[in-house]
Structure 1
Amino acid sequence: MVLGGGYSGLIAANRIARRLSGADVMLVNERPRFVERVRLHQVAAGQRPVEHLLADRVRPGVRLSIGRVTALDPDRREVRVGDDALGYDTLVYALGSGAVVPESAAGALTAAGAESAEEASKRIADLAAENGVLAVVGGGLTGIETAAELAESHPGLRVRMLTSGEPGGFLSPRGKAHVRRVFDRLGVEVLTDADVEEVREDAVVLRDGRAVGAALTVWSTGFAVPALAGRSGLAVDAHGRIRVDATLRSLSHPEVYAVGDSAAATRQNGRELRMACATGIPAAYCAADAIAARLTGREARPLRFRYVNQCVSLGRRDGLVQYVDADDNPHRTVLTGRLAARYKEAIVRGALFVTAKSGPYSLARPRSVLR
């Protein structure tokens, strides 16, 4: 059984079905369609990427169960989906992560989920028609992509980014400079040293007492995993991610594997891998192959992984490719402009392709070009 039909879960289910002919593979997901999460900032901006049904993306041998996972009992090897209790022999936990929005910002929008991004698009379109002011809280990659996409798609919208540091502070000096140039061109106002205390209907209140006017706020400060894994008795880290070995196998329950944002996975040197599509895809292949190997009496191979670059979309006509070392530290080299935008688009399309075509990926030299 595979819980979660995002990038990692769908790849794992397809890969297991491919490697274990005749196995009974069930994929559980709360909605019948596959969500291209890396495009949700486009959805929030009012664009409508092509929708993909999970039924059209699973291999023969994968059964779909559409419903929300409400409970997990790893000792009984049982999952509750709605009112149904479903048993399993081996479990792949791939329930991903969601936006972290504090209670003081409960009125803020997010672009971290399919439904929330669609709701945001409606309200943002209405605000843009009035030439209103929108705040984006958070200067990480998600905040950067969201601010640029909204400003480009709605030229009448006044976009303000509120961040405690420089936007993309983890980028190289060249990378940060390009983000700033694009923001200047698109009219995105950046307020640094802006620690948010509260989100109100007409303003964002900072901890120093300043009130920054904004009729809508998009919250983009980070992600967290559901509490289900820890609540179920699986060994988890301080962030609630399942603690796994080098083959993505749970340290506390050997019949459970975790992939994607749900897993506290590391590189060969012990460096923790960040939550990203970039790490989730190779982890899914590794876990699926490890399951197939163990069930057929072979030795499971550990995850071998390195980062290559981080790809950032800055609207549809500009982008940034930040080259990094194996541990995700930025190099001086960057790719910018339309070529970078095309590169990012190709990577996003490639990620969609492998969710349905799980054979070609090789664990011999897994690398990450997604962000």
Structure 2
Amino acid sequence: MAEHIVVVGAGYAGLAAAKLAARWTGCRVTLVNERDRFVERVRLHQLAAGQRLRDLPLADLVRGTGVELVVDRVTGIDADVRRVRLATGSLTYDRLVYALGSRADLRVPGAAEHAHSVSTAEDAEELAGALRTARVVAVAGGGLTGIEAAAELAESRPDLTVLLVTGGRFGAGLSAKGARHLRSVFDRLGVRVRDGARVAEVRADGLVLDTGELVAADAVVWTAGFRVPELAREAGFEVDGDGRLVVDQALASVSHPEVVGVGDAAAIRRPDGLELRMACATGLPTTRHAMRSLAGGLAGREPRPLRFRYFNQCVSLGRRDGLIQFVRADDTPVERVLTGRVAARYKELVVRGTVLFERHPVLPAG
């Protein structure tokens, strides 16, 4: 009898993993997800800014692939008997693909009560609602998510005053040329930047810095970090300090080899020890490697080492501008960049390409 592979989580990595497993292994594959829609997470800042996104029912995306879709919430994993507990029942598995992704890290005092995020569709919709009556919005976090959110809100809502507050240097991780373009776009859009400012608390009236200063805002967007679910730790799988599943070069759990980790919830390292960052651009090619390794293992073949390199960082700066920062294989920046409308079109093609990949995951991942 064919083995049963259960994939938990239908984000970018989980959906691709389920479809590839069904295509390459001949096993019975069940995909479990809490919602019945695929969410374009990389577009959620657009949803927060009041734009409409495509409706992508998961049933349509898996139709004809052999993947069975179960819409339910995963509540726990019993590793000793290989069972996934759901809100309305349970599923047994021979192999488990752990793809539960990440959410905003709201552990700073007051963040869970008073801040909004753009890590789920529901979060983004709530933020869009809060912004209808806001005049000043503060974006906490100067990473790519915060940069994209601040630029999108400023362009879509010129009636808003948009602030970006980051504990680090604004544009850190970019080349000098990239950082200059970023600053010029924010100046043009009227986004005010406070860098080197650490947030100690979120209140209903804004952000409190560690100096005690209040940065007043009617709404706060929290993009300062992400965290993963505790289910892997609770199941007894080996995890790192952030709760991410520790995996080997085949992306199998080092403690439970019948479990494969893909996407944000797995701590994936290259053979040289470089840990890969949470990103769609990371998740798609490494998921394909994981499923090839799984299929090869079932056929008695030894898995190949993970081969992965970075090429660029794609940043949308509203709908009419962007920044493509080219990088070395280890993700450190070089001076070469694309900017302006060309970069905006480039980023849009990449984002559209991710959905094309989800429909046809045997295609090359961009």
Does the alignment reach a TM-score above 0.5?
yes
Distance in 2 between residues matched to 1:170 and 1:211, nearest whole Å: 28
Match in the other structure for 1:65 = 70
Give matches, 1:313-352, under 5 Å.
Answer: 313-352=316-355
Give matches, 1:194-233, under 5 Å.
Answer: 194-233=197-236
Distance in 1 between residues matched to 2:86 and 2:169, nearest whole Å: 43
Tell me if the contact between 2:198 and 2:210 (Cα under 8 Å) persists in the aligned partners.
Answer: yes
Deviation at 1:20, TM superposition (A): 2.4
Return the match for 2:171 from 168, 172, 178.
168
TM-score (norm 2): 0.96
AA partner of residue 242 (structure 1): L
Q: Considering only aligned residues, what root-mean-square deviation do their CA atoms show, in Å?
A: 1.2
Tell me if the contact between 1:268 and 1:305 (Cα under 8 Å) persists in the aligned partners.
Answer: no
Match in the other structure for 1:298 = 301
Tell me if the contact between 1:244 and 1:258 (Cα under 8 Å) persists in the aligned partners.
Answer: yes
- Structure 2, gaps ≥5 residues long: 1-5
Match in the other structure for 1:94 = 99
Deviation at 1:324, TM superposition (A): 0.4
Deviation at 1:294, TM superposition (A): 1.3
Deviation at 1:105, TM superposition (A): 2.1
AA partner of residue 43 (structure 1): L
Give matches, 1:1-371, under 5 Å.
Answer: 1-21=6-26, 23-58=27-62, 59-101=64-106, 102-106=108-112, 107-127=114-134, 132-361=135-364
Distance in 2 between residues matched to 1:171 and 1:208, nearest whole Å: 28
Q: What count of residue pairs does the alignment treat as equivalent?
A: 358
Deviation at 1:49, TM superposition (A): 1.1
Q: Deviation string for 1:86-128 (max 9, x for gaps)?
A: 100011000000000123323111111110001111111332x
Deviation at 1:222, TM superposition (A): 0.9
- Work out the percentage of aligned pairs sharing the same amino acid: 55
* Structure 1 residue ranges (4+ consecutive) displaced by more than 4 angstroms after TM superposition: none
Tell me if the contact between 1:286 and 1:302 (Cα under 8 Å) persists in the aligned partners.
Answer: no
Tell me if the contact between 1:141 and 1:168 (Cα under 8 Å) persists in the aligned partners.
Answer: no
Distance in 2 between residues matched to 1:339 and 1:19, nearest whole Å: 37
Deviation at 1:70, TM superposition (A): 0.2
AA partner of residue 30 (structure 1): E
Distance in 2 between residues matched to 1:316 and 1:207, nearest whole Å: 34
TM-score (norm 1): 0.94
Other structure's SS at 1:149 match: helix
AA partner of residue 236 (structure 2): G
Q: Deviation string for 1:310-360 (max 9, x for gaps)?
A: 000000000000000000000011110000000000001111111110122
Other structure's SS at 2:334 match: strand
Deviation at 1:299, TM superposition (A): 2.5
AA partner of residue 45 (structure 1): A
Deviation at 1:187, TM superposition (A): 0.5
Distance in 2 between residues matched to 1:53 and 1:296, nearest whole Å: 33
Other structure's SS at 1:33 match: coil
Deviation at 1:208, TM superposition (A): 0.9
Distance in 2 between residues matched to 1:118 and 1:51, nearest whole Å: 14
AA partner of residue 285 (structure 2): P
AA partner of residue 208 (structure 2): V
Distance in 2 between residues matched to 1:192 and 1:16, nearest whole Å: 45
Distance in 2 between residues matched to 1:26 and 1:203, nearest whole Å: 44
AA partner of residue 311 (structure 2): V
- Structure 1, gaps ≥5 residues long: none
Other structure's SS at 2:155 match: helix
Distance in 2 between residues matched to 1:302 and 1:55, nearest whole Å: 34
Distance in 2 between residues matched to 1:200 and 1:82, nearest whole Å: 33
Match in the other structure for 2:3 = none
Other structure's SS at 1:257 match: strand
